[in-house]
Each structure stands twice: as C-alpha cells, then as structure tokens.
Amino acid sequence: MSKCPFVTMTTTAGVPVADNQNSQTAGARGPVLMQDYQLMEKMAHFNRERVPERVVHAKGAGAFGKFTVTGDISRYTVAKLFGKVGNQCEVFARFSTVAGEQGSADTARDPRGFALKFYTEEGNWDMVGNNTPVFFVRDPLKFSDFIHSQKRHPATGLRDNTMQWDFWSLSPESLHQVTTLFSDRGIPADYRHMNGYSSHTYSLWNANGERYWVKWHFKTLQGIKTLTDAEAAKIASTDLDFHRRDLHDAIARGEFPQWKVQVQIMPEREADTYAINPFDLTKVWPHKDYPPMDVGVLELNRNPQNYFAEVEQAAFEPGNTPPGMGVSPDKMLQARILSYPDAHRYRIGINYAALSVNKPHCPVHTYHRDGQTRFDGNYDGAVNYQPNSFDGPADNAAYKEPPLRVDGDADRYDHRAGNDDYTQAGNLYRLMNADQQAQLIGNLAGALAPVPRFIQIRQIAHFYRADPDYGSRVAAALGVAMAEVSI
C-alpha cells in the first residue's frame, strides 16, 4: 500500500468530517447522543453491507438449555428471575467466530461470540458477549473500520495481515485484546471448553431505586482447552465445521456442557472515582477490587431441530433487558443497542422478534403491525394506536428504571487522551508463564512477518510500552533492532 495525498473525509452527503475517531457523547464517559448522525450513518450503512449472512459472527452454532439461579443477588435487582435461589428459565445460546464468513474454518484465530437469550417470565434477556473480557475498540465510531480491517482487501478479495496490523498499530486501545487473541487462548479447542463474558458493563437496579454496574462472566465447567496454530490448521484441513460438529455431537451423546455464571458488581457512585473508566470496553475490572460472585449455572441440553430456523434466524439485542436490569454509558454498548436490531430488521425482516427462536415465552402486547413477512394473525382487529379507549395495552410506571445521572457538554471527546492502554496489557503478559509467553511471541511474529516493516516497528512500540520484555522479544523474533523503535 502506498501513501496518498491528504484528502478530507466526508459523509455520504459530502459534508466534511471533522472527527472520525470519537463518538459524540454527554461528557467524556458518555452516554452517546442520538444526534450523532455520523455514527448513525456509519452503523446503518455497515449493517447493510452483506446479504444475507451476518456482517460479523456469520459462522456459528447454537443450542437450547436452561439457566438455574444458585446465588442470591436479589438485593441488587428486582428482576423476577433472580428473586430466589432455584429459579430457572430456558435459554438459547449461539457461539460464533467474528470475522469469517459462513464457509470459513471454525478453528481460525479469532474471538468467539458468546450470545445468550434467556426466556424469562418478564421477557427476553439477551446477553451479547464474547469469549474474551475486552474488545479491540472502545468507541463505536471505529467499529466498522475495525471490522473492515479484519475482512477482505478491496482489491484482492483476500484476508490481509497488513490491513489488520495497520489498524491495530494505529489504535493502541486494541493492545489488550490483541495480547489476548494471540495468546494460547486465542483458538478455543471447541465451544464447550471456553469462557464467555458480557465484556460490556451492564446494570442492575433494586426495589429502592439503587443502581449497580455489573459485568457477567460464564466460566466453563469443562475446563479451558485450546489449540495451537498447527493443531488448528490440521483440523481445518479436514473439517471446517469442527466446532459446530463438536457441540452438536456432545449434546446428542448426553454430554451437556455447563458454565458457572458469575457477576462483578460495582455501586453506581463508585464509577465516578474508580481508577479506570468502568465503561471502557478495552479494560477489565480487577478481581481484587470487585470479586466475582456465583449467581447461577448455564446448561445446554437440546440441539436445534432446524439450523436455519433456530440458529441462522436467532436475533440477539443487548437492549433486551427485563425490569431490574439495564445497560450502561458504555459507548460501544449504546451503539449496539441501535445496531443489532437494525441489522436484524435488514437481514431477516421487520417481524424477526416473532420468529419462534426469538419469541418470548411470556405474553407479548405491542402496537407493531404489518411489515414484510407478517406470518401470524397480525392482532386481528385489535386497536393499533395508544392511548386508546378500547382496553389496549398501556405503559406501566411500576417498571420505571431509576434515572441515569448524566453530566457533561456534548462534544466529540478524544477517547485516547489521557487513557492508559498499556498497563492491563502488560499485566496480562506478566501473568503468563514462560510457555504462554513463548506461544504469544511466536503467534505474533508469525502474523506480523508479512507486514511492512514500518507497521511492525509501530506495533512493537506498543508491545514495549506494555512491557519492555514483551516488545523486545517480538522485535527479536522479527529481526527488528530496538534502536529502530521510537518509544
């Protein structure tokens, strides 16, 4: 790729773009403003770039099961599901790779989607997470750019390491996730032997109107198992659907996978003074500050009867939160609240929520009517507006969420200014044993080898800032002298 003269970026209407790095938020921590037409345009366009498979997480597998409450968190939430130990609800889970298309190999080095739909008595609760606790970007304005860098080169139609590392080396906030991805945990052995995380910060609220910030963890009870690059390549040469097959066959044999469900909980006010931004998707909350608490067990015990109807048409929305649960000012989460249902409306139609796999297991009373692929009675002749005088469903203030405190001027805040993108990545490196560090360095060197030297040097500087040993060892593996690296 050769460098070109500077050209001012514009919107599709030709309006010059002043800042393509930061979403417009109320205060530096958010939430994101709906008036940010530039963000809305990027996300809406991004959702419509592929037909008909998902733009991301296209290749996946799913199964049904149950969730059982084992720990009491009723003091934090009024959600009926968590009202007492022993409560249960049905669940649908979908696991997936992120960047690959439908026909790609299951064993690619890639994060894994970990999406769950809990069919609670108060409506669906959708948990849309990954098998890693962090992500590559913290501002949603950069999400489509990130995915483009992981997809295919516009000229060759091929996956391109230069695109990937060019973006990552220019986005230091990605370092924590990059370190995770290229570690020994970068390729799960199968979906049963990996953890899941909400990654995002969500919220809970109780009967007193008190809000708590929460991160969800799903720890595999089968134990962690992973693949090396060589093992993954060998499997891919004979079975592109290895992970999908493994999940289906294990359940068919009666070997039902389980995950221990845990939460980290932070009182609302502590977010103001905590050492890191608790809504930053590139950061974890250290367990010493907020120890995980056991809350339940997730079990998958039933395979889909039809893959297309129940897996391909499954639609998850992070905005689906029953009373007592909610979202947070996490900028990426706020954008996904818009982006996910928008993608579903485009991909599988406006009435996607009424499809069997997505339909709640409790009564539904809305004023949504008509639209493409309306396949039920369309509420017959029931009144279709509100307020009305004909006993139609009405809003109920009893379910009102406590108000969210918002402070700050509307602006495009530089999410990189004053942000420490290196400490947690360095901590992760230092937690690894010698073998894990060696695997990390080898995986990174292999992926960076075909990349132009100036990008290698730029990325090495990030590794070095996280930990001098980390950067020096990658440099040595690539044959780059540290004297060439500007620290």
User: What is the pLDDT, as a whole number, of residue 4?
Assistant: 63
- Which pairing describes strands 325-326 and 410-412: parallel, antiparallel, or unpaired? unpaired
The answer on 456 and 356 residing in a single domain is no
Distance CA 112, CA 101 (A): 13
How many domains is the chain partitioned into structurally? 2
Same domain as 225, residue 101:
yes
pLDDT band at 3 (very low <50, low <70, confident <90, very high): low
Hey, is 220 helix, strand or coil? strand
Q: Which of 22, 57, 358, 443 is catalytic?
A: 57
Given pLDDT bands bounded at 50, 70 and 90, which one contains residue 367?
confident
According to the model, what pLDDT value does residue 38 have? 83
**Buried b / exposed e across 9-21, counting CB within 10 Å, b at 16+?**
eeeeeeeeeeeee
Residue 167 has pLDDT above 80, yes or no: yes
Percentage of the residues of the chain whose pLDDT score is greater than 70:
98
Catalytic, 57? Answer yes
Give yes or no: residues 352 and 478 share one domain: no
Q: Which residue is associated with the tokens 């921590």?
A: 29
Q: Is the pLDDT of residue 34 over 90?
A: no
Query: What range does the domain containing 275 cover?
Result: 34-362
Residue where one domain finishes, among candidates 310, 328, 362: 362
Answer yes or no: is pLDDT of 51 > 60: no
CB 131 within 8 Å of CB 197: yes
Does residue 24 form part of some domain?
no
Average pLDDT, stretch 1-17?
70
Report the residue count for the chain: 487
For the segment 264-280, the average pLDDT, to the nearest whole number, is: 97
Same domain flag for 315 and 206: yes
Q: From the candidates 22, 47, 124, 130, which is the catalytic residue? A: 130
Q: Give the H or E element holding residue 476.
A: helix 468-478
Q: Are 152 and 255 in a shared domain? A: yes
Whether residue 177 is predicted with pLDDT greater than 90 in this model: the reply is yes
Asked if 353 and 429 sit in the same domain, the reply is no
Q: Which of 28-42, 69-83, 394-408 has the lowest mean pLDDT?
A: 28-42
In-domain check, residue 238? yes
Q: How many helices (H) and strands (E) does the chain have?
A: 12, 12
232 within some domain? yes
In a domain, 374, yes or no: no
CA distance 94 to 248: 12
pLDDT (mean) for 464-480: 98
If asked whether residues 357 and 454 sit together in one domain, one would say no
CB 97 within 8 A of CB 112: yes
Does residue 452 share a domain with residue 334?
Answer: no
Give the tens place of pLDDT for each residue, 223-242.
999 999 999 999 999 999 99
Q: Does position 359 have pLDDT exceeding 60, yes or no? A: yes
**What is the per-residue pLDDT across 418-450, written as a single tens digit (0 to 9) for each?**
999 999 999 999 999 999 999 999 999 999 999
Residue 367 lies in a domain: no
Q: Are 187 and 252 in contact (CB under 8 A)?
A: no
CATH number where 266 lies: 2.40.180.10
Same domain flag for 323 and 456:
no
**In this structure, are 84 and 158 located in the same domain?**
yes
- Per-residue model confidence (pLDDT) at position 446: 97
Separation CA 442–CA 434 (nearest Å): 12
Q: How much is the average pLDDT of 291-300?
A: 98
Give the end of a domain, one of 362, 386, 414.
362
Rounded to an integer, the average pLDDT of 269-284 is 97
- Residue 211 shares a structural domain with residue 304: yes
Q: What is the pLDDT of residue 67?
A: 98
* Residue 18 domain flag: no
Cα separation, 409 vs 329, whole angstroms: 15
Q: Is the peptide bond before 318 cis (omega within 30 degrees of 0)?
A: no
Phi-psi label, residue 421: left if phi above 0, alpha if psi -120 to 50, beta otherwise? alpha
pLDDT of residue 208 exceeding 90, the answer is yes
Q: Could you say which of 312, 347, 362 is where a domain stops?
A: 362
Helix (H) / strand (E) containing 243: helix 242-252
Does one domain contain both 140 and 261?
A: yes
Tokens matching residue 189:
């052995």
Q: What is the pTM of this model?
A: 0.91
81 lies in some domain: yes
Mean per-residue pLDDT of the chain: 94
Mean pLDDT along residues 316-345: 94
Q: Residue 25 domain-assigned?
A: no
